[in-house]
Structure 1
Amino acid sequence: MALSTGFTRMFGVRHPIVLAPMGGTAGGALAAAVSNGGGLGLLGAGDGDPGWLDREVAVVTARTDEPWGIGFLTWAVDRSAVERALDYRPRAVMLSFGDPGLYVEVVRRAGVAVILQVTNLEEARRAVDLGADVIVAQGTEAGGHGARRGRSTLPFVPVVVDLAGSVPVLAAGGIADGRGVAAALVLGAAGALIGTRFQAAAESLADPAIVDAIVGGQAEDTERSSLLDVVRGSRWPAAYTARTLAHPHLDRWRGRESEAATDPRARADYDDDLARGVIPPQPVWAGEAVDLIRDRPSAATLVTTLAAEAEAALTRAVSG
């Protein structure tokens, strides 16, 4: 069976699989490989650093003629960065974490599809009102940042699907194999946005120590917290926590978040451990499906594998 959905038809891609635009990981090589595999690769542009964009867009455009896009952190980016990105002619721009109202019309006027990620029903309603072309419903199982008071993927996705009507919805959070993609489709989603699984792809920009941690990780070792943002001096808004693998600075300050926020030793100790190589260069953003990740294939192979597994899972479900 072909996994044709409203999303695949909208973008002319073969598989309903999308690379999450992970900062520090989803560069041009990874995005191109996902697109070449039949999915939609999204660059993780974060705050829209122009030097990073110039470099990584050059990579993605050199390596694929398939559709690709760019993702931004809405709270961190400004209008000029979005406008600059549109000059590269991506097929889609994805906006996550914050009110995207300032940017939606800018993207739409450029003839580029608007993908809005939501973490609760208030954000989902806002995305519908803004006229999103695609909505990503992110559950709390996801690695990296998400809503402090969110909902898990299984109950959240169908509610957003019902709310979105004809707008395609992508499920995100806790999806790392084809069974997860199949589950997303059964919930009514038009595809899946996948992050942690692609961190361990061959083309990932993630530091080797981070990839090793993911390949050897266990879901019970993941934790949602704002502590690592606090101790490393990150500007992430308080409304969002992050799911990571175990970390010594989580152990050091757990239950003392207010103290860590005001104690200068917290940042100094973190920076010292970073300089000495005691901790990885970034927290290990990892979702609850990390147990399913045990190899490091090319992203193109991974996309086709996920699609084949999803088709097989759906066939088994129908045939009993």
Structure 2
Amino acid sequence: MALSTAFTKLFGVQHPIALAPMGGSAGGALAAAVSRGGGLGLLGAGGGEADWLARQLPIVAGAGKPWGVGFLSWATSVDAVEQALEHNPRAVMLSFGDPSPFVERVREAGVAVIIQVTDVEEARQAVDLGADVIVAQGTESGGHGARQGRSTLPFVPVVVDLAEPVPVLAAGGIADGRGVAAALALGAAGALIGTRFQATTEALVDPSIAKALVQGSGEDTERSSILDIARSSRWPSKYTARTLGHPYLDQWRGREAELAENPAARLAYQADVARGDVPPLPVWASEAIDLITDLPLAADLVATLAAEAGDALARARGH
């Protein structure tokens, strides 16, 4: 069953599914595969490191399908956005922080602006800035999200009503076609999916991370600022990260301020990573990882998600 929505019509894609532009794992190969599968592949550009973009942009742009690129608003620069625009993406997604410095330049290039929001205030700003698509991210999501946000189920309809007629994508805790169907039932025009696509053949992740995602449980995930502090990350304090369990979470839980004021502890973290006592990177993971049981090709996964969503909606209608 074809699932045509305002999102699929806007970008000329087959399925209402977008790849979350996960920094470090959503590289050119993964984004291109999602686009070839009929979704919208979004390259995870993060802060916009020029050499990385120079390697990855031609890969996704060469797929010959609609694609886009995502940046961290708090970390990127106009130069990085300009570098991406040179490759003619269909969309630029801006997440976490103030997107306003970049919106007009993207719009001038004739490229759609996608803005991810984690609370109602951010959603109102996205509407005021004239976003072409808004992503409503719930706290179930893997990786970074709002410290004091809402769950996907109650948050998405609020943003849908606030943003109408702007298409909204649901994000957070969606890892199979039933989740995509739920997003559509909530009034969203599709789903932005991250952790499920991390566990695919094309994702730029270490095999140990892929294995952890397949074996992990949602009960093993935790949203915290501890690993950002230990890693001396510059992420704004408004946003915490959901990860699988980690020794430093157990060691410093409830003592975040103490960790932040303890340079020796942060040096110890670096030493533990160097010795291999802790993983080199946190395992970003959503609460839905119980639904991840394999490492498929990303294009095949897009088709599977779309088919499962169609079946779920048919069942809901009693067909």
* Post-superposition CA distance 1:30-74 (Å, at most 9, x none): 000000000000000001111000100122233x11001100000
TM-score, with structure 2 as normaliser: 0.99
2:276 aligned partner: 277
Q: Does 1:6 align with 2:6?
A: yes
How many residues in Structure 1 have an aligned counterpart in Structure 2?
A: 319
Aligned with 2:314: secondary structure?
Answer: helix
1:243 aligned partner: 242
Aligned with 1:69: secondary structure?
Answer: strand
Aligned-partner residue type, residue 87 of structure 1: E
Aligned-partner residue type, residue 7 of structure 2: F
8 Å contact from structure 1 (residues 210, 280) kept in 2? no
8 Å contact from structure 2 (residues 140, 286) kept in 1? yes
* Post-superposition CA distance 1:264-319 (Å, at most 9, x none): 22211211111112222210000000100010000000000000000000000001
Counting only pairs closer than 5 Å after superposition, residues 143-222 of structure 1 correspond to structure 2 as 143-222=142-221
Separation (CA, whole Å) in 1 of partners of 2:81 and 2:166 = 23
1:25 aligned partner: 25
Separation (CA, whole Å) in 1 of partners of 2:67 and 2:108 = 18
Separation (CA, whole Å) in 1 of partners of 2:290 and 2:104 = 40
What is the Cα-based RMSD across aligned positions, in Å?
0.8
Q: Does 1:48 align with 2:48?
A: yes
Separation (CA, whole Å) in 1 of partners of 2:169 and 2:136 = 6
Separation (CA, whole Å) in 1 of partners of 2:80 and 2:3 = 35
Aligned with 2:317: secondary structure?
Answer: helix
2:60 aligned partner: 60
Aligned with 1:88: secondary structure?
Answer: coil
Aligned-partner residue type, residue 5 of structure 1: T
Aligned-partner residue type, residue 167 of structure 2: P
2:38 aligned partner: 38
1:233 aligned partner: 232
* Post-superposition CA distance 1:177-218 (Å, at most 9, x none): 000000000000000000000000100001111111111000
Counting only pairs closer than 5 Å after superposition, residues 285-304 of structure 1 correspond to structure 2 as 285-304=284-303
Q: Does 1:258 align with 2:277?
A: no
Aligned with 2:30: secondary structure?
Answer: helix
Counting only pairs closer than 5 Å after superposition, residues 59-78 of structure 1 correspond to structure 2 as 59-62=59-62, 64-78=63-77
* Deviation of 1:83 (Å): 1.4
Unaligned runs of 5+ residues in structure 1 are none
Separation (CA, whole Å) in 2 of partners of 1:148 and 1:274 = 26
Separation (CA, whole Å) in 2 of partners of 1:24 and 1:310 = 28
Separation (CA, whole Å) in 2 of partners of 1:310 and 1:193 = 14
8 Å contact from structure 1 (residues 209, 280) kept in 2? no
Separation (CA, whole Å) in 2 of partners of 1:91 and 1:276 = 43
8 Å contact from structure 1 (residues 207, 281) kept in 2? no
Aligned with 1:319: secondary structure?
Answer: coil
TM-score, with structure 1 as normaliser: 0.98
1:309 aligned partner: 308
1:95 aligned partner: 94
